[in-house]
């Protein structure tokens, strides 16, 4: 029977959770890298034993760890993330120029075809690529250098590049997103970039419809339909049917359209999941009820998924990289909370149970479907 | 022989419980000690000093013989007690939460 491996990054280490295809009973290992922040932990689609972890602390900076045996053993690889050329300035919170400074890696995205190739989205926002299993990193500087960088500004978490989507039908196409700059697309494998934010509106920037400056929280793409993108923005859930060329709102009947993660069902590309959060100042669920919302119509019509989730006195958040979907049938849905719970549904969200309840605050959740 | 005391985060990274011992050729300075430390444990590159500027990271401090050496020149010779191995060169994470 096939199984799954859930990869969880927390404020104080990484945890690896495995189960067979029933997803009933879990074996949990960790903490790996205890005491370090693990912003992201992910695995290669090509070689499921190849894992990568972004490990950092405010004191000692950044490490990248690599495992070649599914997370049993780890080795540090390269951590020299050096901006190409003179980094220049972006906007600080008050709009004044602020020099670009590397702080940490937020997101690692392995290549769809080569376990030794992966991308890193970093704070202050930039995209790096490694083609030697993480030993060395080169910036894809056309993104930061395309002309609007001086107008990018940090969100509450920093000026972070958190989303990297690789188009399985076109190896030249990459979509990324930055808080708070917006979404960008390259059609030449990362050499040149252009903003794809038409249709977004944000009242926290002087021109709400500007081409850059939007606080995009996460974008999801289904591999069978790469031109259709779903976005959870600071406020608003958005959809594009032309690879980001234009966006329209699909928040519909959500109790709040503020939130962080967004994910797509493995086998139904029109079924999407979000976790509404009360507001930008109240980072906990509306009415203190932890509810995943599912739309089976590609947005606008949403249903609350509550079976097994706390429906009173709940004040946790679910961060942007903390939701994942496996590819079993029925597909599993997973998310982690700032309260340290990791919830799993083995039936597409119809019911939930906690794999674990008392981890450090969860930063990221990924899942691998094992052969 | 120079004795180096690492903070807990870095001890776990290099998988050492106690102090690290280094053999130096030439003068014992902050720079030569850190160069030797990073040569012995390459995974520490960038975690104590910036990868490019080689400046001490902001939340890292250097103590020895009950003195704060954080703001001394990286090329200043370390105290005799450190050079002779009687006292450790201490790399300390600033007290800033965690």
Is A291 contained in some domain?
A: yes
A348-361, pLDDT tens digit by residue? 999 999 999 999 99
Dihedral sign for Cα atoms in the order A196, A201, A203, A206: positive
Whole-angstrom CA distances from A238 to A47, A147, A332, A338, B49 are: 33, 25, 24, 25, 43
Number of domains composing chain A: 1
pLDDT average, residue stretch A243-247: 98
In terms of phi and psi (left: phi > 0; alpha: psi -120 to 50; beta: otherwise), the region of B62 is: beta
A52-86, pLDDT tens digit by residue? 999 999 999 999 999 999 999 999 999 999 999 98
A138-147, pLDDT tens digit by residue? 999 999 988 8
C-beta separation of A71 from A31 below 8 A: no
Is A369 contained in some domain?
A: no
Chain A residue with the nearest C-alpha to that of B92: A59
CA neighbor of B13 nearest in space, from A305, A169, A71, A13 = A13
Whole-angstrom CA distances from A119 to A48, A62, A136 are: 17, 15, 11
Q: What number of C-beta contacts closer than 8 Å exist between A and B?
A: 49
Counting every residue, how long is chain B?
98
Residue B96: what pLDDT? 65
pLDDT band at A193 (very low <50, low <70, confident <90, very high): very high
pLDDT band at A293 (very low <50, low <70, confident <90, very high): very high
Q: What is the complex's ipTM, to 2 decimals?
A: 0.90
Give B10's contacts in chain A (Cβ within 8 Å): 60
Q: Across the interface, do B46 and A80 touch by the CB < 8 Å criterion? A: yes
CA neighbor of A181 nearest in space, from A165, A160, A199 = A160
Give B96's contacts in chain A (Cβ within 8 Å): 58-59
Is A95 contained in some domain?
A: yes
pLDDT average, residue stretch A228-253: 98
pLDDT average, residue stretch A160-164: 98
Residue B98: what pLDDT? 52
Which residues fall within 8 angstroms of residue A162, CB to CB, at 6 or more apart? A106, A107, A121, A177, A178, A179, A217, A218, A320, A321
Q: Which of B6, B8, B47 to mutate to test the interface with A (most CBs of A within 10 A)?
A: B47
pLDDT band at B97 (very low <50, low <70, confident <90, very high): low
Counting every residue, how long is chain A?
371
pLDDT average, residue stretch A298-323: 98
Of all residues in chain A, the percent with pLDDT exceeding 90 is 96
pLDDT surpassing 70 at residue A310? yes
Q: 3-state DSSP call for residue B11? A: helix
**Residue A57 at interface with chain B, using a CB cutoff of 8 Å:** yes
- The C-alpha of A155 sits at a distance from chain B's nearest C-alpha, in angstroms, of 22
For β-strands A89-91 and A97-99, DSSP reports them as antiparallel
C-beta separation of A155 from A162 below 8 A: no
Q: Which residue ranges form the domains of chain B, and what is each CATH number?
A: 2-93 (3.10.20.30)
CA distance A127 to A295: 31
**Residue B70 at interface with chain A, using a CB cutoff of 8 Å:** no
pLDDT surpassing 70 at residue A323? yes
Is A45 contained in some domain?
A: yes
**Residue A61 at interface with chain B, using a CB cutoff of 8 Å:** yes
pLDDT surpassing 80 at residue A200? yes
Asked whether the bond before A239 is cis by omega within 30 degrees of 0, the reply is no
Q: Across the interface, do B46 and A59 touch by the CB < 8 Å criterion? A: no
Is A364 contained in some domain?
A: no
Which residues fall within 8 angstroms of residue A124, CB to CB, at 6 or more apart? A87, A90, A100, A101, A102, A103, A154, A158, A159
**CATH number of residue A179's parent domain:** 2.130.10.10
Q: Across the interface, do B98 and A59 touch by the CB < 8 Å criterion? A: yes
**Residue A82 at interface with chain B, using a CB cutoff of 8 Å:** yes
C-beta separation of A231 from A239 below 8 A: yes
Question: How confident is the prediction for chain B on average, in pLDDT?
Answer: 94
Is A171 contained in some domain?
A: yes
pLDDT band at A103 (very low <50, low <70, confident <90, very high): very high
Chain B residue with the nearest C-alpha to that of A65: B43
pLDDT surpassing 60 at residue A46? yes
Residue A371: what pLDDT? 87
Residue A146: what pLDDT? 85
Q: 3-state DSSP call for residue A363? A: strand
For β-strands B89-93 and B2-5, DSSP reports them as parallel
pLDDT surpassing 60 at residue A1? no
Is A318 contained in some domain?
A: yes
Q: Which residue segment(s) compose the domain that A310 sits in?
A: 30-334
Question: How confident is the prediction for chain A on average, in pLDDT?
Answer: 97
A105-122, pLDDT tens digit by residue? 999 999 999 999 999 999
pLDDT band at B37 (very low <50, low <70, confident <90, very high): very high
CA distance A158 to A179: 7
Residue A302: what pLDDT? 98
Is A237 contained in some domain?
A: yes
Which residues fall within 8 angstroms of residue A319, CB to CB, at 6 or more apart? A260, A261, A336, A338, A362, A363, A364
C-beta separation of A152 from A145 below 8 A: no
Q: Using the structure block, give the residue that is written with the tokens 């991308």.
A: A119
Q: Which of A35, A60, A81 sits opposite B47 (nearest CB)?
A: A60
DSSP single-letter state for residue A96: -
Q: Which of B8, B51, B56 to mutate to test the interface with A (most CBs of A within 10 A)?
A: B51
């Amino acid at each position: 029977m096939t199984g799954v491996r859930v990869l969880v990054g927390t404020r104080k280490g990484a945890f690896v959770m495995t189960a067979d295809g029933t997803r009933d009973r879990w074996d949990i290992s960790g903490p790996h890298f205890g005491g370090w922040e693990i912003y992201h932990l992910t695995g290669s689609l090509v070689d499921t034993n190849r894992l990568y972890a972004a490990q950092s602390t405010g004191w000692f900076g950044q490490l990248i760890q690599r495992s070649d045996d599914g997370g049993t053993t780890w080795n540090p690889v390269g951590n020299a993330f050096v901006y190409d050329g003179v980094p220049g300035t972006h906007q600080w919170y008050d709009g004044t120029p602020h020099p670009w400074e590397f702080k940490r890696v937020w997101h690692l995205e392995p290549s769809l075809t080569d376990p030794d190739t992966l991308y890193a989205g970093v704070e202050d926002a930039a995209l790096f690529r490694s083609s030697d299993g993480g030993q060395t990193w080169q910036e894809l500087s056309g993104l930061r250098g395309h002309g609007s960088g001086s107008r990018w500004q940090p969100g509450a978490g920093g000026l972070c590049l958190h989303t990297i989507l690789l188009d399985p039908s076109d190896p030249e196409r990459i979509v990324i997103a930055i808080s708070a700059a917006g979404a960008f697309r390259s059609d030449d494998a990362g050499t040149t970039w252009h903003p794809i934010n038409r249709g977004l509106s944000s009242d926290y920037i002087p021109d709400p419809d500007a081409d850059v400056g939007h606080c995009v929280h996460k974008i999801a793409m289904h591999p069978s339909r790469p031109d259709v993108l779903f976005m959870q923005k600071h406020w608003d859930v958005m959809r594009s049917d032309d690879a980001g060329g234009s966006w329209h709102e699909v928040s519909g009947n959500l109790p709040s359209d503020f939130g962080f993660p967004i994910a797509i069902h493995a086998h139904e590309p029109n079924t999407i999941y979000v976790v509404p959060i009360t507001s930008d100042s109240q980072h906990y669920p509306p009415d203190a009820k932890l509810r995943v919302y599912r739309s089976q119509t590609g947005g606008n019509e949403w249903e609350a998924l509550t079976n097994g989730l706390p429906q009173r006195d709940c004040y946790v958040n679910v961060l942007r990289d903390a939701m994942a979907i496996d590819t079993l049938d029925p597909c599993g849905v997973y998310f982690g909370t700032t309260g340290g719970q990791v919830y799993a549904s083995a039936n597409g969200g119809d019911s939930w149970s906690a794999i674990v309840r008392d981890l450090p605050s969860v930063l990221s959740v990924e899942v691998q479907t094992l052969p | 022989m120079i004795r180096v005391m690492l903070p807990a985060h870095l001890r776990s990274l290099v998988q050492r419980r106690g102090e690290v011992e280094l053999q130096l050729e030439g003068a014992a300075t902050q720079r030569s000690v850190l160069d030797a430390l990073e040569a012995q444990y390459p995974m520490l590159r960038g975690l104590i000093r910036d990868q490019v500027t080689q400046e001490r990271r902001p939340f890292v401090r250097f103590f020895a013989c009950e003195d704060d050496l954080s703001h001394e020149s990286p090329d200043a010779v370390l105290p005799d007690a450190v050079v002779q191995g009687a006292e450790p060169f201490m790399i300390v994470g600033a007290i800033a939460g965690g």
